[in-house]
Structure 1
Amino acid sequence: MINLPTLWKEECMTKKILIAEDKPDSLRLFRDILNGIGYLDLIEIDNGQAVFDQARQHKPDFIIMDIQLPGISGIDAIQQIKQDENLKNIPILATSAFCMEHDLKLIKNSGCDDFIAKPFNVADFIQVIKKWLEQDC
């Protein structure tokens, strides 16, 4: 069992995170880590087509976006979000198990704010989350 540090400021724990991930095991891992460090308000989506509508509906504070999603790709979903005036400032962490040089260029050019390759180190993932969500806390 991993002993995860908890957040120390209540306003950080109220942040809303949208997770776009179609693999149940990966989704469960994201959920367990985020819940373990105090983030409980999670919106979970398993396809690319629903991401934009759910982002508009819920206005999350942060988005975790798998690149390989059914429907439309995570790259296309990121581009849709970043083109919307009401959503473009939401930080997006792109994730992918496919990290060839060409893929990394596409991911970086999509407009995402950060990237982490799967499988990832839990401590590194937590650092990325804290970097984007605890700036104002």
Structure 2
Amino acid sequence: MAKRILVVEDNDLNRKLFCDVLKSQGFAVEGVADGHEVMAKAREFVPNLIIMDIQLAGVSGLDLIEQAKADVALRNIPVLAVTAYAGKGDEERIRDAGAEGYLAKPVSIGPFLAAVRALLEKAVA
């Protein structure tokens, strides 16, 4: 059965790129543009991994990570944060919120897929 990945990204081009790359690798992918829909979509789709943009319109990806980690149904799903925020202390803040992985944009496909696979393998172990 294909691993399910929820891609939370409000930039249409980035979301399409992430989804297309993941689908080409055999993953079942669901994209979400609206941060306000993330929790409901995650409960419905039950992903094996959540890829979370941090800077979303109207809601913080950090807040969404914290909400997911506080939710009994979602807390064990690993989160890969993908963000343009790459300043001093940003990775630490994102990991403190509960993200197991962190990539700074712009993201190269190789490191992106490597991070996805590593978190999926770790989640199974």
**Would you say same fold, with TM above 0.5?**
yes
Structure 2: gaps of 5 or more residues: none
Give me the whole-angstrom Cα distance separating, in 1, the residues matched to 2:117 and 2:103: 14
The equivalent position to 1:26 in structure 2, one of 14, 37, 48, is 14
The residue number in structure 2 matching 1:5 is none
The residue number in structure 2 matching 1:99 is 86
TM-score (norm 2): 0.91
Greater gyration radius: 1
Give me the whole-angstrom Cα distance separating, in 1, the residues matched to 2:108 and 2:99: 20
Matches within 5 A, 1:57-136: 57-134=44-121, 136=124
- Partner SS state of residue 101, structure 1: coil
Give me the whole-angstrom Cα distance separating, in 1, the residues matched to 2:42 and 2:23: 20
Cα displacement (A) at 1:116: 0.6
The residue number in structure 1 matching 2:42 is 55
Cα displacement (A) at 1:131: 0.9
- Partner SS state of residue 76, structure 2: coil
Give me the whole-angstrom Cα distance separating, in 1, the residues matched to 2:39 and 2:99: 14
Q: How many residues align?
A: 124
If each structure's strand is expressed as a fraction of its own residues, which one has the higher value? 2
The residue number in structure 1 matching 2:31 is 44
Letter in 1 for 2:26: G
Give me the whole-angstrom Cα distance separating, in 1, the residues matched to 2:60 and 2:35: 6
TM-score (norm 1): 0.83
